Chain A
Amino acid sequence: MYHQARYERKLIFEKDGETDFSMPFQEEISDLAPANMTRERLDIPSLPEREVVKHYTDLSEMNYGVDNGFYPLGSCTMKYNPKYADVVSSLSTVANIHPYQDEDSIQGALQLMYDLEKALCEIGGVDAVTLQPAAGAHGEFTGMLLAKAFFAHKGEERTEVVIPDTAHGTNPASAAMAGFDVTEVPSSKTGCVDLEALESAVSEKTAAFMITNPNTLGIFEEDVQRIAEIVHKVGALLYYDGANLNAVMGWTNPGKMDFDIVHFNLHKTFATPHGGGGPGAGPVGVRKRLEPFLPVPRIVFKDGKYRLDYDRSESIGKVRPFFGNFAVLVRAYAYILRMGGNGLKEASERAVLNSNYMKEKLKDTFDLPFKDLRKHEFVISAKRLKEQKEVRALDIAKRLLDYGLHAPTIYFPSLVEEALMIEPTETETKETLDLYIDTLKKIAEENPMLVRSAPHNTSARRIDEVYAAKEAILSWRAFRKREKEKEGDPSDEKDKGDCTLCRSIVGDMDSLKKRIGKSVD
């Protein structure tokens, strides 16, 4: 059985020591800053390097990445991150160049970005790509700004963006940030875009319709041509959320499906590590008619040299400084070179095979709403288990962790009750898939109390998220203030719990314990 490391959770701020860090000698200088601008104290720790490394190594052992095991988090495409990308992205010729260097001194970097843009054009079936956006959601925001600029230029006032109810939450949030009113259209009985609902939702006020294909249920929107027709008929643009691109590379592409704007998630499809939350990269591709609006600079190749072209009057300007998350772009480019056109197509095929294999093996134990054939991911429902044994999707997710397997995405999309959204990716072996399948089946048979009280083998037991939100303590500084306030309050129960920190924050645990069932071990 899996057991994750479980160390004392002392913050680095609570550790004592003496620093051994040093810098080359410099003569002391006086009058460092204006007198009214000088800091009096700085409450950060000072520890020897040995203690710092021990501390963060301990923390890393209380974490789980793709290198630790299977991570079938739906919609996140947690494929293996090949190590050659680590090597190339940490070359000095990547890490130690400044974005404002003279063009003559960064030809290699510009060439890499130029070539990556071209490769993404081919993969996405688009005419031009910007590498600037820092993440998928940032790409969506960029795409929405492009739509805004496009219609402003045409003198059309379009204030709405239409989105299916199964869309990733970033879609409506990005459209709203760009100032659009968002209309969500319900899905049809097949889990796909309801063409009638779409037709009545779009109008000459609509700027764009944002979808992902395959959609978040893993179902390919077979009516995609009809969708494009409906959207284009009212003069609106069709936006492709590239989160699910890993399903279709080499079989179709957004351009071929008549999309106008596309974002790519390099940290999903192109195997760059997600870093526990980031960095990512979210390049955006467009068709010819939207190219003039792309962020500056554009990279051009002229007279044997790569140049940065800022002179583009219709451009939306910048969405972030400089050129994008370059070190991430280098990794993605290395991945594309390694895989090649043939390899990328095969990656999609294997991803779809793995997903359908798992779905077939699981669809009797769980329910599979909507049609059978899925692409790179599928969504099953734990509704029956909930009804029969009061075991919810959340409990199953937590119990999986006890087996050293990462949970799927849960409770998304919301039109599936007790949803488990599983995306195995192409990089896992049949043995791994079988292990996950068997484990899920086993959990379905396990003592419900054991499952409801999971996880048992991880660094922390079931976590009180309600309490975290109520207290909203986001820093050591905030915590110490709270402590001080409570010291002045004699009613506080100081003796509950066994760790110093919790002593003061433990309140009423009954509700949490009731919800998950009293601990069984």
Chain B
Amino acid sequence: MGIDRNMLEEIGRSNIGDLFSDIPAEVRVDRLDLPRGMSEMEVIGRLRSMLKSNVTADDCPCFCGGGVYHHFIPSAVKAIVSRSEFCTSYTPYQAEISQGMLQALFEYQSFIAELTGLDAVNSSNYDGATALGEAATMCYRLNGKRKFLIPEAMNWEKKSVLKNYAWGPGIEIVEYAFDMNTGELDLEDLRSKLSEDVGGVYIEVPNFFGVIDSQAPSIREELKDAALVVGVNPISLGVLRPPGDYGADIVIGEGQVLGSPMNFGGPLLGIFATRQEHVRKMPGRVIGLTRDVESDRAFCMTLQTREQHIRRSKATSNICTNEALMAVAAATYLATIGREGLRTIAEINIGKARRLMSAIGELDGFVSPIFEAHHFNEFVMKPVIRPEKLNKLLLRKRIIGGLPLEDHVPHLSGHMLLATTEMHTKEDHDRLLRALAEVA
């Protein structure tokens, strides 16, 4: 490569340094102390060998969940999101030349609207946890109340993210308990915490323990002015009732399961949906249906007066770059598997979890499932040894174990959250069961 001397001369500069003459000598550096560049072949070789030691879910069945899950991705999804017209475009600021991305994102919003039963969906947040953070601040914008209730049974990382989003506006986070028998929310405890100053209540369906809470539809009537925020696993909505039906004001969720790989936890896909009447209070980019001058159907980013580039410090959120390509993956995933496919996958997940949790319960020394409830694709069990130690033993048998719960829900120390999906064959389950039996 090198610098084009002719271009320099053409603009009356004798050397490249002339173009940097405005950088004061005191703040200059000579060079970057990094290795010299290498060829493409060497880069690919280097990374392949560096990453070789990672144990993948391709090689070993992965029973770990807790927010990110190993699901089947139809080949068509990768083919579509790899289209460089999508992949290498920027945010569609020039709508006329970006109709494809805009329509794909509008379709994503439409899929999520159907799944959640809410009309207004944004074109993505970063992930489920930051979507929850934005939901809490939106509740405050909706009713001016500064208390936000969340389940004690929740991933600690999500709680920590939420706390950081709540810090600025001074929203107080209060936890309500879960029922030790069912794993569902403790309604009495929730009621006792529903004071006048509660602006929002967050429930998860399925919850952190994989439990499908049968009380979810009755929460709305417990709340007065407070908004109901429901966290979902979108695949479960293939069989579960849309939260919009039971009074949710906002639905958030982790959309990685819709056609994106686990990617070591990122990029993910933050789902954010709300009622039409709240649309001007919602965060994030939204794609609206409109028309062009020829009256043809068209799409564009809209309601931008909520956003940072116009409203600056008064914006509903600072978000601009989001997870648009993951949203396109979600749309193509849902379109490919279709109505019946989503229902089938949800059923398979429920069936696999049901079989695995009771099979583990039959092993000596294991308690499983801990909670008497309907589960989606995760469940809590108590192994005969410490979960951390169990994971190391499983890894030796080329199995990726579950999530120890101690860090998340301290009084469930010694318990483990196991996830299973359509990726697991009967042989995978048997292999896990044999390994567990050997440990016992």
Contacts and interface: CB of A to CB of B under 8 A. Distances in A.
A169 B312 contact: yes
B341 A19 contact: yes
Interface in B1-50: 1-4, 6-8, 10-13, 16, 19-24, 26-29, 31-40, 42-44, 46-48, 50
B187 to A, nearest CB: 14
Nearest to A429: B4
A458 B423 CA distance: 43
A474 B274 CA distance: 11
Interface stretch (B193-201, B219-227, B283-291, B359-367): B283-291
A479 B113 CA distance: 11
B311 to A, nearest CB: 7
Nearest to A476: B110
A145 interface: yes
Contacts of B242: 39
A122 B32 CA distance: 7
Contacts of B97: 4, 63-64, 401, 406, 455, 458-459
B55 to A, nearest CB: 4
Contacts of A43: 114, 339
Contacts of A222: 22-24
Given A122-B33, A321-B265, A499 B400 contact: no
B412 interface: no
B161 A176 contact: no
Given A44-B334, A135-B319, A472-B288, A337 B46 contact: yes
B312 A46 contact: no
Interface string A294-326: 000000000000000000000011111111111
Contacts of A134: 126-127, 130, 266-267, 321, 323
Given A101-B55, A322-B157, A353-B7, A401 B313 contact: no
A325 B76 CA distance: 23
A251 B54 CA distance: 37
A334 B43 contact: yes
Contacts of B1: 346, 350
Interface stretch (B143-151, B173-181, B302-310, B429-437): B302-310
Nearest to A345: B32
A186 interface: no
A434 to B, nearest CB: 10
A172 B312 contact: yes
A494 interface: no
A417 interface: no
Contacts of B304: 469
Contacts of A204: none
Interface string A493-504: 000111101100
A391 interface: no
Given A177-B317, A319-B161, A461-B96, A92 B58 contact: yes
B51 A317 contact: no
A275 B87 contact: yes
A219 B100 CA distance: 35
A43 B104 CA distance: 17
A239 B295 CA distance: 47
Given A64-B98, A278-B321, A318-B157, A38 B240 contact: yes
B216 interface: yes
Interface stretch (A50-58, A283-291, A382-390, A439-447): A50-58
Contact of B263 (A95, A122, A253): A95
Q: How large is the interface on B (under 10, 10 to 19, 20 to 34, 35 or more residues)?
A: 35 or more
Contacts of A175: 313
A94 B263 contact: yes
Interface in B204-236: 205, 212-214, 216-217
A81 B400 CA distance: 34
Nearest to B96: A458
Contact of A109 (B51, B72, B335): B51
Interface string A447-477: 0000001010011111111011101111111
Given A59-B103, A123-B32, A343-B37, A506 B295 contact: yes
Of A253, A258, A357, the most chain B CB neighbours within 10 A belong to A357
B294 to A, nearest CB: 5
A280 interface: yes
Contacts of B312: 169, 172-173, 182, 184
A464 B164 CA distance: 38
A446 B23 CA distance: 40
B41 to A, nearest CB: 9
Contacts of B310: 169
A24 B167 CA distance: 47
A491 interface: no
Contacts of B352: 26
A11 B88 contact: no
Contact of A475 (B26, B55, B120): B120
A84 B43 contact: yes
Interface stretch (A194-202, A230-238, A511-519): A511-519
B192 interface: no
Interface in A141-183: 141, 145, 148, 168-170, 172-180, 182
Going nearest first, the 5 A-B pairs with the smallest beta carbon separation are A322-B265, A277-B324, A340-B37, A275-B325, A99-B265
29 contacts: A9-B103, A9-B296, A38-B240, A43-B339, A49-B336, A64-B97, A65-B88, A68-B85, A81-B88, A82-B40, A96-B57, A98-B70, A101-B400, A176-B318, A180-B168, A274-B90, A278-B126, A278-B321, A279-B324, A320-B268, A325-B263, A340-B36, A407-B94, A467-B290, A468-B302, A469-B304, A475-B114, A475-B121, A502-B296
